[in-house]
């Protein structure tokens, strides 16, 4: 394939639209930025991916159960989780350089510069005096004390302003500090604006402060708030997991790269509750288990890599991503985080309810630690789509576009064709469709030459085509044509259901995990 990566990616996007996988949302109204709809084939593929994940998690693990929590949650949830604070970035633009900055980062950088000055004073003094008492110097040197007071003052003002959501005060602070834009060097700033990454809406008909609720920015909290319910009613014993798939919403500043970063997206998450102190074992276990799951799709081992986080989020004591090589480079596909007891402890504090586990072996209660696996369903969809899509050049110079989807995930498992549209062949083909459709997604097609019908199925990733010819009427056999190799074999009609079961059912994929 001699295409440049960005051209290849464009072709993937076009293919998704042309064959009913993904449409832009509200396209007839010019679309909505970074929101997409799944079409007739996309919905099937997405559903199959979700089902494979769910079965691999819930059905294959006795100690993992699934739930389906609401998108709306009590507003305090997001205070406890840290999202109200962490997701509220105050932003400011420099009118000359047209660059945008986070106001808090500008102020932090400014504070860091003053700290540098202090450190320089300390270094100088160190060289000058023997028996240097650093603590004493820091608390008595006039210049250092002045700097330190300045820092304290800035930090206090910033904290007060942020707690009061007083954005004008934040701007005033930036002006008072005489902070300049690193690019333009000017102090020509816009007002500070809050950019909340959570979507807010009103619950009930009266809109006041207390009725503001958010669309969840992650699904994990739905699991944490139900921890006790599930643990008790499900008689779950640690270690155990709670799995969930569902939509989450983030008002991204820039959302791009097709369905890679959308404002509305679907997560598939599993929170695994473990005894404190054992979390690193389980973290390593799930790192391996999740990579294995991805590898089972057969997209190629070299497309995946781990990326361990060095800078950890406020809630984690270990974190890594499983990255996938998209047409635009290696990007996060799944996150595996050791979230400690941060979330449950926060919810204990904010709700006043105990979220603990009584360990019979140890005869004590504790707040469990959590190891999270969180994968983006849409990203998974894109990873599968972009590695399945191929433009092949066949012998004779003609090209065919084919989606080499993992057979078990393909929207349509088999196309059933009469070789020609008469002599009773359509009737027999219809009978075959009716016999197969209880177990498998199959379609019937009699339009155009059979070769063309094969190519149509190739383009949407149908792994098998079944063709009824005149011989079929005599000996009840048909040809079975495989998508990737284009090889055909003659099989008995009576064996079709079993063959499809072996080759295209989710069971065939799940078997590889055990």
Partner RNA sequence: GCGGAAGUAGCUCAAUUGGUAGAGCUCUAGCCUUCCAAGCUAGAGGUUGCGGGUUCGAGACCCGUCUUCCGCUCCA
Segment contacting RNA (CB under 7 A): 71-79, 111-119, 248-256, 405-413?
248-256
DSSP 109-144: HHHHHHHHHHHHHHHHHHHH-SS--HHHHHHH-HHH
CA distance 237 to 239: 6
What's the DSSP call for residue 244?
Answer: E
**By the rule CB under 7 A, 89 interacts with RNA:** yes
Find the binder of RNA among 56, 57, 467, 493 (CB under 7 A): 467
Give Cα separations from 321 to 58, 306, 309, 458 (angstroms). Answer: 22, 6, 8, 33
Find the binder of RNA among 12, 154, 179, 217 (CB under 7 A): 217
**By the rule CB under 7 A, 251 interacts with RNA:** no
Give Cα separations from 98 to 178, 186, 297 (angstroms). Answer: 18, 11, 45
Site residues for RNA, 40-69, by CB under 7 A, read none
Which residue, 135 or 254, has its beta carbon nearer to RNA? Answer: 254
Find the shortest distance in angstroms from Cβ 372 to RNA. 10
Which residue, 161 or 468, has its beta carbon nearer to RNA? Answer: 468
Tokens read off for 460: 């949407």
- State residue 241 phi and psi, 5-degree precision: -125, 155
Binding mask 5-44 for RNA (x = CB under 7 A): -x--xx---x--xx-----x-----xxxxx----------
**By the rule CB under 7 A, 102 interacts with RNA:** yes
CA distance 114 to 153: 12
Tokens read off for 418: 């009469």
CA distance 263 to 373: 21
**By the rule CB under 7 A, 474 interacts with RNA:** no
Find the binder of RNA among 128, 314, 361, 438 (CB under 7 A): 314
Name 433's Cβ contacts closer than 8 Å, sequence gap at least 6.
416, 442, 443, 444
Binding mask 398-417 for RNA (x = CB under 7 A): xxxx----------------
Which residue, 25 or 497, has its beta carbon nearer to RNA? Answer: 25
What's the DSSP call for residue 76?
Answer: H
Q: How far is CA 215 from the centre of its chain?
A: 16
Which residue, 470 or 507, has its beta carbon nearer to RNA? Answer: 470
Find the binder of RNA among 94, 174, 469, 500 (CB under 7 A): 469
**By the rule CB under 7 A, 481 interacts with RNA:** yes
Mapping DSSP to helix (H, G, I), strand (E, B) and coil, where does residue 468 land? strand
Total residues contacting RNA by CB under 7 A comes to 66
**By the rule CB under 7 A, 128 interacts with RNA:** no
Strand-pair partners of 243: 66, 270
Which residue, 124 or 256, has its beta carbon nearer to RNA? Answer: 256
Name 130's Cβ contacts closer than 8 Å, sequence gap at least 6.
none
**By the rule CB under 7 A, 219 interacts with RNA:** no
CA distance 32 to 40: 20
**By the rule CB under 7 A, 200 interacts with RNA:** no
**By the rule CB under 7 A, 155 interacts with RNA:** no
Which residue, 93 or 501, has its beta carbon nearer to RNA? Answer: 93
Tokens read off for 23: 């449409």
Find the shortest distance in angstroms from Cβ 514 to RNA. 31
Tokens read off for 280: 């690193």
Find the binder of RNA among 420, 435, 443, 510 (CB under 7 A): 420
Find the binder of RNA among 101, 158, 249, 324 (CB under 7 A): 101
**By the rule CB under 7 A, 422 interacts with RNA:** yes
CA dihedral of residues 279, 284, 290, 296 (deg, nearest 10): -150
CA distance 424 to 438: 23
Segment contacting RNA (CB under 7 A): 62-70, 161-169, 449-457, 506-514?
449-457
Contact 266, 247 (CB under 8 A): yes
Find the shortest distance in angstroms from Cβ 69 to RNA. 16
**By the rule CB under 7 A, 473 interacts with RNA:** no
Find the binder of RNA among 67, 73, 86, 180 (CB under 7 A): 86
**By the rule CB under 7 A, 103 interacts with RNA:** no
Which residue, 15 or 157, has its beta carbon nearer to RNA? Answer: 15
CA distance 416 to 461: 14
**By the rule CB under 7 A, 93 interacts with RNA:** yes
**390-394, Cβ contacts within 8 angstroms, sequence gap of 24 or more:** 390/1, 391/1, 391/3, 391/11
Find the shortest distance in angstroms from Cβ 285 to RNA. 21
CA distance 417 to 413: 13
Site residues for RNA, 328-367, by CB under 7 A, read 328
List of residues contacting RNA (CB under 7 A): 6, 9-10, 14, 17-18, 24, 30-34, 83, 86-87, 89, 93, 98-102, 105, 197, 217-218, 252-254, 256-258, 261, 313-314, 328, 394, 398-401, 419-422, 447-452, 454-456, 458-459, 467-470, 478-479, 481, 486-488
């Amino acid at each position: 394939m001699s295409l440049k990566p960005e051209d290849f990616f464009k072709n993937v996007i076009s293919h998704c639209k042309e064959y009913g996988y993904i449409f832009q949302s509200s396209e007839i109204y010019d679309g909505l930025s970074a929101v997409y709809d799944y079409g007739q084939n996309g919905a099937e593929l997405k559903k199959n991916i979700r089902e494979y994940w769910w079965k691999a998690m819930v059905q294959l693990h006795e100690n993992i159960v699934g739930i389906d929590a609401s998108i709306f949650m009590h507003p305090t949830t997001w205070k406890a989780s840290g999202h109200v604070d962490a997701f509220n970035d105050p932003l400011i633009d420099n009118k000359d350089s047209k660059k945008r900055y986070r106001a808090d980062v500008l102020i932090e950088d400014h504070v860091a510069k003053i700290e540098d000055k202090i450190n320089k004073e300390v270094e100088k003094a160190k060289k000058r005096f023997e028996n240097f008492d650093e603590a004493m110097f820091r608390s008595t040197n006039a210049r250092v004390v002045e700097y330190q007071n300045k820092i304290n003052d800035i930090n206090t003002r910033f904290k007060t302003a942020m707690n009061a959501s007083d954005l004008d005060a934040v701007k005033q602070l930036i002006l008072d500090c005489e902070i300049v834009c690193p690019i333009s060097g000017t102090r020509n700033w816009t007002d500070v604006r809050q950019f909340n990454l959570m979507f807010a809406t009103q619950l009930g008909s009266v809109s006041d402060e207390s009725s503001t609720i958010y669309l969840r920015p992650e699904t994990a909290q739905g699991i944490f708030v139900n921890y006790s319910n599930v643990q008790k009613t499900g008689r779950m014993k640690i270690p155990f997991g709670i799995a969930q798939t569902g939509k989450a919403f983030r008002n991204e500043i820039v959302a791009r790269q097709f369905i890679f970063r959308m404002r509305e997206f679907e997560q598939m998450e599993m929170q695994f509750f473990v005894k404190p102190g054992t979390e690193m074992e389980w973290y390593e276990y799930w790192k391996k288990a999740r990579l294995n799951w991805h590898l089972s799709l057969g997209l190629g081992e070299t497309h995946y890599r781990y990326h361990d986080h060095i800078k950890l989020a406020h809630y984690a004591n270990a974190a890594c991503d499983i990255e996938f090589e998209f047409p635009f480079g290696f990007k996060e596909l799944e996150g595996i985080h050791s979230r400690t007891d941060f979330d449950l402890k926060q919810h204990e504090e904010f709700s006043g309810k105990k979220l603990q586990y009584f360990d019979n072996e140890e005869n004590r209660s504790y707040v469990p630690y959590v190891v999270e696996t969180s994968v983006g369903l849409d990203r998974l969809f894109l990873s599968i789509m972009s590695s399945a899509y191929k433009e092949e050049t066949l012998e004779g110079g003609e090209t065919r576009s084919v989606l080499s989807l993992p057979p078990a995930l393909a929207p349509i498992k088999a196309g059933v064709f009469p070789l020609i549209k008469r002599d009773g062949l359509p009737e027999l083909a219809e009978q075959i469709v009716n016999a197969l459709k209880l177990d498998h997604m199959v379609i019937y097609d009699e339009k155009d030459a059979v070769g063309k019908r094969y190519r149509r199925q190739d383009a949407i990733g149908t792994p098998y085509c079944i063709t009824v010819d005149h011989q079929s009427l005599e000996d009840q056999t048909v040809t079975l044509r495989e998508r990737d190799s284009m090889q055909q074999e003659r099989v008995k009609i009576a064996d079709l259901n079993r063959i499809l079961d072996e080759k295209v059912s989710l069971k065939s994929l799940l078997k590889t995990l055990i």
